[in-house]
Structure 1
């Protein structure tokens, strides 16, 4: 035993390795936002969806300028490219170098130009409707979740009442009356502006309840945290607590809900155009292009397939982007 101890004493034990300060700083310097971004970048499907969504937004923004400078022409009638039955001459809807997606039967409009320009109006309607629904839903959800009591009960009953209305039937029944009210009393220009505004208001006013429920559930948890108690003890007003303390901590569910609400309203605009409620031709939207193409689904398949495929790609991309953001911002969730 003594010989073993002497042998150990004779040996020089290795000195403990010093901690890697760079690695420690690297781990300690990652904020929750950075960690979420890293998780999001690992999701290849969500990254592809984000690229498609960005391209869609850029196309919508650039379309009015492309029309102004003559790069795309959604309104010129190319009657010489139609046969006696007002169908496009040539195969696949008249596809050519000048008309990459062919032309529209009956009118001769360039289909690619119509789709590109229609993205702008569809985006404008869905974006404005989403902003209206998100604003109402977030504000009322914060108020209900923080106040509780009779305020929470009143907002809850308003949510139940709104959800009980048949939205589509209300859109159809009130269309003429609401558009007349907008033009006669609010002096909104007649035509597509009044129709578009009506769709925005109805989608937004009927779409906020589900958003309010999501935000209310988040606020019920956040209101119990120490920083909210500290703000109340310091005498902060309710408005300050709503928008300075609670709202900054709700950006994750708000962002995810926004990306999931947008595609729903893009599909809703297409459905309403099919029912004749939304913007009408010659102003193009993805919805009214798809509605008009149904008449030529057999004789000109490209005219029917192009808007349907474009709507499908846009809606799926927004949904996948919203799913990816939800998974990245909440690592406990599973796809």
Structure 2
């Protein structure tokens, strides 16, 4: 329960991130570049004199927003895909799903993102599109097991349509699995966004992002500005680790083995 409370506390803290910093994360001060951590700048400043603490706070909020939205959209894509597969050409849709899983998702995202202007909407859509196949494959194996049970066959015999039985009979027993996949996919989405932004294919540079900050940090290492590297990495770990703890706890609590 402590890990669950820690996750919720972290989410609330990130939502109200602007209240904890008096600096504009995009405002440059060329007289204060590469300042070490002090009482005014808790995490120091970067190469443009921007307050690193403010940038990290806003970057974490942007990352969790993209992670939650992309994970939710990926679940919607997976559910719609599996429902469509049960209505038309099941084997064909399953082969397409295997094809998506065989492709290197990161390279595929980098390819499409190179043709699209970076924004929150494009990042959320591309990440969801590249992650839904993994969710659909795991969810499909659970659905196949449930379809062999008597309660589902009885619902069809009593006149329930496949669409109605899908939502009324198959989905409720899978809520725990879906929530666990939702949490795990948030972690993947956050890591993916940071990776794409690091290579310049994610959010624009004027929007604070952990990937953008770490991209700037790769130049700061030659200037001895260790704080530009250490604090963003610690922030990324502090964002991902509680979610990993929560997912491990849920797997043990619900007895789910992925």
Task: Give SS of 2:50's match.
Answer: coil
- Residue 294, structure 1, aligned to residue 248, structure 2: no
Match in the other structure for 1:110:
51
How many Å separate the matches in 1 of 2:110 and 2:152?
Answer: 45
Per the alignment, in what secondary structure is the counterpart of residue 276 of structure 1? coil
Query: Pairwise mapping of residues 253-272 of structure 1 onto structure 2 (< 5 A)?
Result: 253-272=177-196
Corresponding residue to 1:316 among 222, 227, 241? 241
Match of 2:208 in 1: 284
Quick one: distance in 2 between partners of 1:301 and 1:153? Answer: 54
2:152 counterpart residue number: 228
Q: Map of 1:1-335 to 2, 5 A cutoff?
A: 41=1, 47-48=2-3, 50-63=4-17, 66=19, 71-82=22-33, 87-88=34-35, 93=36, 95-104=37-46, 106-141=47-82, 144=85, 147=86, 151-179=89-117, 192-193=118-119, 196-298=120-222, 299-330=224-255
CA distance in 2, matches of 1:279, 1:167: 18
| Structure 1 residue 322: Cα displacement | 0.6
Aligned residues: 257
List 4+ stretches of structure 1 deviating above 4 A: none
Bigger radius of gyration:
1
- Per mean C-alpha deviation after superposition, the further-off stretch among 278-287 and 53-62 is 53-62
Offset at 1:78? 3.1
Alignment check: 8 A CA contact 2:83 2:163 kept: no
* Contact 1:142 1:216 survives alignment (8 Å): no
Are residues 142 and 173 of structure 1, via their aligned partners in 2, closer, same or farther at CA, if it must alter by over 3 Å?
closer
- Structure 1 unpaired stretches of 5+: 1-40, 42-46, 180-191
1:176/1:260 Cα in 2 relative to 1: closer, same or farther (>3 Å)?
Answer: closer
CA deviation string 1:70-116 (max 9, x = no partner): 7453133333334xxxx32xxxx2x2222111112x21111111111
Provide the C-alpha distance between the structure 2 equivalents of 1:204 and 1:217, rounded to a whole number of angstroms: 20
Q: TM-score, normalised to structure 2's length? A: 0.89
Partners in 1 of 2:30 and 2:23 — Cα distance? 17
Contact 2:71-2:128 within 8 A present in 1 as well: yes
Q: Verify the 8 A CA contact 2:110 2:201 in the aligned structure 1.
A: yes
TM-score by length of 1: 0.70
**SS state of the match for residue 80, structure 1?**
coil
In 1, the alpha carbon distance for the partners of 2:249 and 2:83 equals: 25
Distance, in Å, in 1 between the alignment partners of 2:136 and 2:244 is 20
Task: Report the CA distance between 1:168 and its aligned residue.
Answer: 3.0
Confirm or deny: 8 A CA contact 2:183 2:247 kept in the other structure. Answer: yes
